[in-house]
Amino acid sequence: MYAIIDIETTGGKFNEEGITEIAIYKFNGHEIVDQFISLVNPEKAIQPFVVNLTGINNKMLINAPKFFEVAKRIVEITEDCIFVAHNTSFDYRILSTEFRRLGFDYKRETLCTVELSKKLIPDMPSYSLGKLVRALGIPVTDRHRASGDALATVKLFKLLLNKDTNKTIITEALKTKPKHQLEPKLLDILDTLPNKTGVYYIHNKAGDIIYIGKSKNIKNRLNQHFTGTTAKSKKIQLNVSNVTFEITGSELVALLKESEEIKRIKPIYNRALRKRLFTTGLYHETDQNGYIKLSIDKADGRRRSITTFTNRQNARAFVEKVVDDFNLCQKLTGLYNSKTSCFRYELDSCLGACVNEETPETYNARVNTFLKKYSYKNKNMVILDRGRDVDERSAILIENGEFKGLAFINLNYQITKIEILKTLITPMENNKDSQHIIQSYLRRTPKLKIITL
C-alpha cells in the first residue's frame, strides 16, 4: 500500500516552513482506496512568491485546522504505507519536522517518483512534475495545489509501476510489510483479488515471485490454484505468502506481459521460460504460373511465416475459413491435393485459378487482401484494445513488422505525436512467442481498432 502525498508550504528558511495544504491519496497499486485533503493553518505568514505560485493566501487559512488537529488523521491514513512523493526529500522532511514539533517520531519507508522516473524513463528533458506529466500525456489540473499535484503523482506512479518490468518496486514494498501481513490465509488473499483480466504474481515470504500467470478472472484463477490437487498447486499453496496483480483490461496485454515476464523473471514454479510450442506455420510463395500459393508446414525460424499455430488442426481450420472468406482456391491453399481442379471448382465456387481459368492478377489480389489483414510484416501500426478503466485504452506498437512494446493511453489526453506514444511505451522483446500471441489475437478478435502509422 502506498500513501502518495503532496504538501504546499509557506516558503521561507530551511526547516522553518509551515504547511499550508496537504493531500494524501492511499493507493493500492491499482486504485485510490482512501484520501485526505485539507488546508492547514501554518500560524505564520506565507511568502509572497508562494502566494503567486499556489494561489493560497493568508486569509484563506484563518479558519483552517492547525497541524496538530489533522496529525492523527495523517498518521492513520499513512500507517503501514510507503510514503511516495515527487521529490520525497522535501515532503517527507516537512512532515517529519511538523511531527517532531509535536514530540512524535514519524517514520515511514519512502519512494521518490523523481528518482524512479530518472531510472525508468531516462533522457526526459525535465523531471519537474508539471513538465514530466505533460510530456507523458498525463492530465493534470490544479497545478501547484496539493490535491492536483498529488493526483498527478498517483497517475505518474501508476505509469512507473507499469514501466517497472522487473517488479522491483512491488517486491521491495512487500519486504517492508509488517510480519502479520506476510502470512495471510488463502481466503484472505482471495478477498483482495479482483474478478478482472490481468496478470498475477505469487510471492513467497521474502517477497520473491515464485509463479506468474494471466487470466480473464484473476480471483477465479487463484481459487483454482488454492484448491488444486496437482503437485504444482500444492507447492504454491505451501509457499504463497502474498499475491500481487496488474489489471490490464485487455487479454492481449495480459498474454504479452505473462510471456515476457516469465522469460525474464523465471519463477521457480513456472516451467523453464514456459515456451509455447508454436509448431505450425502458414507460408506463401508464388508458383511457376504466377499464382500465390499458401501452405501449412512445420514452423521454421529461417522462413517468415504469415502466422503460426499450436498445431496443424488449428492451422487447417483457419485456412478453410480463409478460403471461404476470400474466395480462394482449395488446391492453391493446400487443402485439396489434385492434379486437376479443386472440389470447389466442381461446385462452381472456385473461379478457376486451379486450372488457369482465372488470371494470376485477379486471384492474387484477393490473396494479398488476406495477407494484408493477417500479416503485419513491414507494417507500422498501433493496435488499440481495452484499457484498465473506461477512460483508457491499451496500445500495442508495431514498427517495421516488429513488436516494440505496449502502453496505456488516457482518452482525455489527445496524443498527436508518435514521439509521445513511444515515451509511454514499455519496451518489450520481439520474439516468436510475442509474434504468435499478437497474430493469434488478431485472428480471434476481428473488430480490434488498428491505426496505421
Could you say which of 3.40.50.620, 3.40.1440.10, 3.40.109.10, 3.30.70.360 is the CATH number of the domain covering 168-274?
Answer: 3.40.1440.10
| Higher local confidence (pLDDT), 379 or 199 | 199
The grid cell for 322 is 480463409
Beta-strand runs (E) in 152-271? 198-203, 209-215, 242-247
Per-position DSSP letters for 14-41, written without gaps between them: TT---EEEEEEEEE-SSSEEEEEEEE-B
pTM above 0.75, yes or no: no
**Tens digits of residue pLDDT in 222-265:** 988 888 888 888 888 888 988 999 999 999 999 999 999 998 88
Instruction: Measure Cα distances from 442 to 45, 190, 381, 445 in Å.
Output: 62, 32, 13, 5
Q: Rg for the chain (alpha carbons), in Å?
A: 28
Q: Which of 209, 200, 252 is nearest to 406 (CA)?
A: 252
Q: What does the alpha-carbon distance between residue 433 and residue 399 come to, in Å, rounded to a whole number?
A: 17
Pairing of strands 82-85, 2-9: parallel
Residue 24: pLDDT band with limits 50, 70, 90: very high
Helix (H) or strand (E) holding 354: none
Residue-range domain boundaries for the chain: 2-163, 168-274, 280-374, 381-452
Residue 175: pLDDT band with limits 50, 70, 90: low
Q: Which fold has domain 2-163?
A: Nucleotidyltransferase; domain 5 (3.30.420)
Phi/psi at 385 (nearest 5 deg)?
A: -140, -175
Question: Is the model's pLDDT at 65 over the cut of 90?
Answer: yes
**Tens digits of residue pLDDT in 71-100:** 999 999 999 899 999 999 899 999 999 998
